[in-house]
Structures are given as C-alpha cells and as structure tokens.
Amino acid sequence: MAILPLVIAPDPRLKTRSEPIAEVTDEIRRLAADMFDTMYYERGVGLAAVQVGVLVRMMVADVEWKSDGEKGTQWVFINPEILSSSEEPHLYKEGCLSFPEQYAEVERPQSVRVRFTDLQGQRREENFDGLLATCVQHEIDHLNGVVFVDHISRVKRDIILRRLQKMKKQGVISHREHHPYQDHGDHEHVHGEHCNH
Ligand code: NI
C-alpha cells in the first residue's frame, strides 16, 4: 500500500497526453492499487495516473464508497475510449484532486459507452450513466491532457488557476494535512455533491 503525492494544477503534466499501456504487468497492477489507496485517502471518486505523475493511460474510479470507509465497485480502466455518448446532457458541479477546493459546473453527456482493458487484461465494453459517466469522462479527459476547467469560461478558469497558484506559493496545499481519509468519519459525505476526481 502506498499513498502517492498528487500533481496539483497548474502543472504542465496535466496538459500532457498520456501514453497507451502495451501490457498489463505487475508494475501496472501495483500502480492501480496505489492509485486506489491515494484516491480513497484523498477522498476522491476517480483518479487518473497523470495525477500521481505517471503519464500512462490508466484511471481508477469508485463513486460508491461510504464515509465509514466501506468501498463500492472498484473500476480500473486501461486505454479507455468513448465509443458513443447520449444526446442528453448532464450538468454536474465537478471537483478534481489536482484542483483542491475548486468546483465548477460542467455539462457532459448523461451516459457513455466505453471500451477499455481491465486489470486482468480483458478488453471490455460497458455503459455508464449519471455520476459514474461524469467521472469516466472527467478521467478520460485527464488522459488526453484536458482538465475540467477547460470546459468552463476562460474568466472562471483564470480565477481558479490564479487561486491555485497563490495557494501553491503560500504552501497551503496539502490534502493529507487538511482532510485525511481517516478523519472522514465525522461528517457524512454525499456523492453527487462536490465529488473530486
Ligand atoms: Ni480530476
């Protein structure tokens, strides 16, 4: 088990396209396990490898975990691609572990069909809807060097990035010190409200 340090915006790695994974090796499986540890510790519902500084096309998600630490379905997506999206839009106030304490409403398709390789090396196709669909689209964006603030107005984006730059300069960004996963039991977290990806 390892909790990895997060890449915090602004950072050029978050604007970089990640490389495909040729084979699901032990190293990849270890990275996936560490990404889950990091995601739960930081109280996120999704995490892309680039967010821990590894530029490969892998992301993990669990949008069902509970405040008491109980885990939901753990999804691992390797080389994911969106095959189709619904016409119906879904508006959601998104957050991101690489953008601490910053939230913005983003409109994305309500559901998507995704092809990906799982941790067993099996090629799969699945449909996702609602929060998990939002999360999957948010993480696939990360693999393409796109972040959620790229979907909002330039004015709002600049405000968020300036705020983060200032926080970084003052050294006040540390998820672990401010809200460790272990201390999470004292307030009920409701998924769907300000979830971090
Ligand atoms: Ni994110």
pLDDT of 4 strictly over 80: yes
Note down the domain range covering 104: 12-183
Q: Is residue 78 situated within a structural domain?
A: yes
Residues with CB under 5 A from ligand 1 (ion): 96, 197
Domain with residue 43: its CATH number is 3.90.45.10
Q: State mean pLDDT over 88-108.
A: 95
Q: How close is the Cα of 25 to the center of ligand 1, in Å?
A: 25
Output the CA 150–ligand 1 centroid distance in Å.
12
Question: Does residue 190 surpass a pLDDT of 90?
Answer: no
Asked, for residue 57, whether it belongs to a domain, the answer is: yes
Comparing 43 with 177, which gets the higher pLDDT? 43
Report the range of poorest mean pLDDT among 6-10, 148-152, 171-175.
171-175
138-148: pLDDT as tens digits: 999 999 999 99
Least confident of 111-115, 154-158, 161-165, 192-196: 192-196
What are all long-range contacts of 160-168, with beta carbons under 8 Å and residues at least 24 apart?
A: 160/99, 160/102, 160/104, 161/9, 161/10, 163/102, 164/8, 164/9, 164/10, 164/99, 164/100, 164/102, 165/10, 167/100, 168/8
- Residue 6, domain member (yes or no): no
The pLDDT of residue 182 is above 70: no
Domain membership flag for residue 89: yes
Amino acid code (one letter) for 177: E
How much is the average pLDDT of 109-132? 97
Both tokens of residue 138? Answer: 């948010």
Mean per-residue pLDDT for 139-159?
Answer: 97
C-alpha 113 – ligand 1 centre gap (Å): 20
Classify residue 135: in a domain, yes or no: yes
For this structure, is 125 an active site residue?
no
Domain count, the chain: 1
Q: Give percent of the chain with pLDDT exceeding 70.
A: 89
Q: Is position 1 within any domain? A: no
Q: Which of 44, 61, 57 is nearest to 17 (CA)?
A: 57
Residue 159 lies in a domain: yes
C-alpha of residue 178 to centroid of ligand 1, in Å: 19
- Annotated catalytic residue within 23, 27, 139, 193: 139
**Residue 195 domain-assigned (yes or no):** no
**pTM reported for the whole predicted model:** 0.89
CA of 120 to the centre of ligand 1 (A): 25
